[in-house]
Amino acid sequence: MRTKTIAMPRAVADWVPPEWVTSRGVRYGIVGVAAILLLVYPLLSDDRYYQNMIILSLVFAVGATGLNIITGYGGYVSLGQGAFIGLGGYTAAILSTKVGGNPFVWVPAAGVVAGLFAALLGMIAMRARGHTFVILTIVFLFLLQIVSINWRVLTNGTAGLTTPLPTWSVDIANWPFYYALLGLLVLSIAMSWWIRRSKFGMGLVAIREDEDKAETVGVNTPVYKILGFVASTVFVGMAGAVYGYYLSFVDPLGMFNILLSVQIILSVLLGGRGTLWGPVLGAFIVEPLNEFANNSLGGGNVRLLVFGGLMALVVLFMPRGIVPAITEFIEGRRTRGRAGLVGERLGAAIELKKRDVPLARPAISAQMLLEVKNVSKRFGGLQAVDGASFGVPQASITALIGPNGSGKTTLFNLIDGTMSLDRGEVWFDGRQIDRMKPWNRAHAGIGRTFQITRLFREMTVLENVVAPVREFKLRQLGADAVSGHEAERAEQLLDFVGMLKYRDARASALSYGQQKLVELAQVLMLDPKLILLDEPAGGINPTLIERMGEVIKELNSRGKTFLIVEHNMPFVLGLCDPVRVLGRGQLMAQGTPLEIQKDPRVLDAYLGEDFAVEEEPVKA
């Protein structure tokens, strides 16, 4: 589709926003002013209409900020967020009418109930991804609605429940609701901010960017997803309790209405998913729009047109939302015409560290760190691996070579857990690992790079290296990932591979060779015993190949074992010992580089299988 560029006046086209626009002071200033305004508004004005609008906006802001955690950070789109408002509303209403007490007392209980349901939904939805997951969340919402309609004993069915009347004086009428919700919003934002900076948050974003890769760097994805889900609903449930009390009436159609979910996700999308303030901004745009459509434009149907149309337009034309669009626009203007840091040629930027003492190669032990025993795997109609057996000695740099289709990458996938084997066993460090999940294998000490690099594109280089999880400790989830101990370690590793200068660059902006180095740093963050490298020298320039070899030797001298798949023969033969040759899915030959070069069977494997031409020609 061809788009016409609209000619703009020079002055406008060339305008560059001044530095201070995105400075910290300005951002804090805007937020501060807004916060103060919100804080004092009820004290200044008695206008019930606008108080109501703000109260409802606050409810949606809490809902959106919560949803942002599983949808914005985690990448799992949920259309069931409204269900948690409903759950919160019903919990407080049921408990206050049946057990007694002011609904405010039951607000924490509402949060707990919401969290429990979220954990349940998370466990159920663990195997679902993409659009299956969205459907499940919709179904969840509708099921709750039907249950609340039919379980009359508990919920009073469609007649609904009336909450106790407010016990405070009319003078301050809405204030308790207003400030309770404001308080909840502050807590939600604080939690969102804290999560984003923590190792847990890195894990969530890693799941969003590339869930399978996240698993291979030690992220226990099911647990992370459930935790993310719970985090996204606890405050929302509490807000639902306050909301129900505010309406003084809860009923199935109002509390479990799909349009609540639509409004919440619209707020997240419009404001900017994955950002801290975007969802709040979105909520404060969408709710007033909602009121306007309802009251001034003619009610329910127009509201549907507005919501539906807005959602379609946002998905089509501004999928990232307002806040990112603005920041990208400003950044784009600022850096126009100037080469960014990542544009520099790699060879110049990396200084090869000179060693004073030549590296000592450790003696190759007889002990095998990794053993592959009679492993087979079939997929896509092909027997990719067919009874392969070999071992990788401790502290060695072992090469795995063979022609295309011999099963090398499949073997890597079977070792790191990306694929499950059909037959055979894999032993690592004395333990059988072929039934272990990928993240547990990472924790056990296996790290792996990919033939085509897989970095978490939207994260910075530093965040990419902080994301891997060495071992799963709940306490460590809260650890600060942006500064602090983990970040320091990541910086050291980046320095080691020569990429420290790029720590704040977005991973998607790096060149191929730069990505390879960062991926290696990621793997090193796991402090692995065995490192699987899939074509480390592929597609990069000779200076970098040399650097790669040096890094490998350095790490090996510190005791790390390597298994390298490569096609670049001089690289392999100069670096590795022993060499394993794969052909047609099984081990064909093994030995030292010299032995391999002279082995006729190896050349055979590369040049291809023959058949007897002298036999009778056969009709196809």
Among 97, 248, 294, 451, binds other proteins (CB under 8 A): 451
Footprint of other proteins on 518-577 (CB under 8 A): 538-539, 567, 569-570, 573
- The CB-side HSE value for 36 (13 A sphere, CA atoms) comes to 5
Q: Taking the complex as a whole, how short is the minimal distance between the CB of residue 620 and other proteins, in angstroms?
A: 4
In terms of Cα–Cα distance, which of 401, 351, 389, 372 is closest to 597? 401
Q: What is the dihedral of CA 112, 113, 119, 122, to 10 degrees?
A: -130
Amino acid at 563: L
In terms of Cα–Cα distance, which of 356, 366, 358, 413 is closest to 391? 366
What residues contact residue 56 under an 8 Å CB cut-off, 6+ apart?
287, 290, 291
Footprint of other proteins on 601-620 (CB under 8 A): 602-603, 606-611, 613, 615, 617-620
d(CA 250, CA 98): 14
Print the binding letters for residues 52-91 with other proteins: x by CB under 8 A, - otherwise: -------------------------x-x------------
CA 185 to the chain's CA centroid: 24
Footprint of other proteins on 452-481 (CB under 8 A): 452
Q: Give the DSSP letter of residue 544.
A: H
Q: Taking the complex as a whole, how short is the minimal distance between the CB of residue 491 and other proteins, in angstroms?
A: 29
Q: Taking the complex as a whole, how short is the minimal distance between the CB of residue 257 and other proteins, in angstroms?
A: 10
Residues in the interface with other proteins (CB under 8 A) total 81
Tell which phi-psi region holds residue 109, choosing left (phi > 0), alpha (psi between -120 and 50) or beta.
alpha
**Per DSSP, what are the bridge partners of residue 606?**
none
> Which three-class secondary structure state does DSSP give residue 583?
strand
> Which three-class secondary structure state does DSSP give residue 138?
helix
Q: Taking the complex as a whole, how short is the minimal distance between the CB of residue 527 and other proteins, in angstroms?
A: 27
Footprint of other proteins on 416-435 (CB under 8 A): 418-419
Among 4, 24, 98, 131, binds other proteins (CB under 8 A): 131
Cβ atoms 576, 569 nearer than 8 A: no
Among 130, 340, 347, 542, binds other proteins (CB under 8 A): 130
Nearer to other proteins, 106 or 140 (CB): 140
**Phi and psi (nearest 5°) for 25?**
-55, -45
Nearer to other proteins, 105 or 136 (CB): 136
Nearer to other proteins, 17 or 539 (CB): 539
- Residue 409 binds other proteins (CB under 8 A): yes
Footprint of other proteins on 151-210 (CB under 8 A): none
What would you report as the CA-atom Rg of the chain, rounded to the nearest whole angstrom?
29
Among 199, 213, 225, 303, binds other proteins (CB under 8 A): 303
Print the binding letters for residues 14-53 with other proteins: x by CB under 8 A, - otherwise: ----------------------------------------
Amino acid at 258: I
Q: Taking the complex as a whole, how short is the minimal distance between the CB of residue 611 and other proteins, in angstroms?
A: 4
Footprint of other proteins on 355-384 (CB under 8 A): 379-382, 384
Question: Which listed range, 34-42, 140-148, 364-372, 525-533, lies at the site for other proteins (CB under 8 A)?
Answer: 140-148
Nearer to other proteins, 99 or 147 (CB): 147
Residue holding tokens 């999940």?
437
Footprint of other proteins on 316-355 (CB under 8 A): 316, 319
Strands 446-448 and 530-534: parallel
Nearer to other proteins, 57 or 515 (CB): 515
Q: Residue 343: count other Cβ atoms within 10 Å of its Cβ.
A: 9
Footprint of other proteins on 88-127 (CB under 8 A): 124, 127
Nearer to other proteins, 86 or 166 (CB): 86
> Which three-class secondary structure state does DSSP give residue 143?
helix
Print the binding letters for residues 379-408 with other proteins: x by CB under 8 A, - otherwise: xxxx-x------------------xxxxxx
Nearer to other proteins, 78 or 96 (CB): 78
Q: Residue 554: count other Cβ atoms within 10 Å of its Cβ.
A: 14
d(CA 214, CA 468): 7
Among 101, 300, 340, 347, binds other proteins (CB under 8 A): 300
Cβ atoms 221, 439 nearer than 8 A: yes
Question: Which listed range, 13-21, 309-317, 425-433, 482-490, lies at the site for other proteins (CB under 8 A)?
Answer: 309-317
Strands 579-583 and 397-401: parallel
Residue holding tokens 């790096």?
510
- Angle, in degrees to the nearest 10, between helices 130-150 and 107-124: 130
- Residue 508 binds other proteins (CB under 8 A): no
Nearer to other proteins, 303 or 560 (CB): 303
- Residue 265 binds other proteins (CB under 8 A): yes
Q: Taking the complex as a whole, how short is the minimal distance between the CB of residue 540 and other proteins, in angstroms?
A: 11
Cβ atoms 103, 92 nearer than 8 A: yes
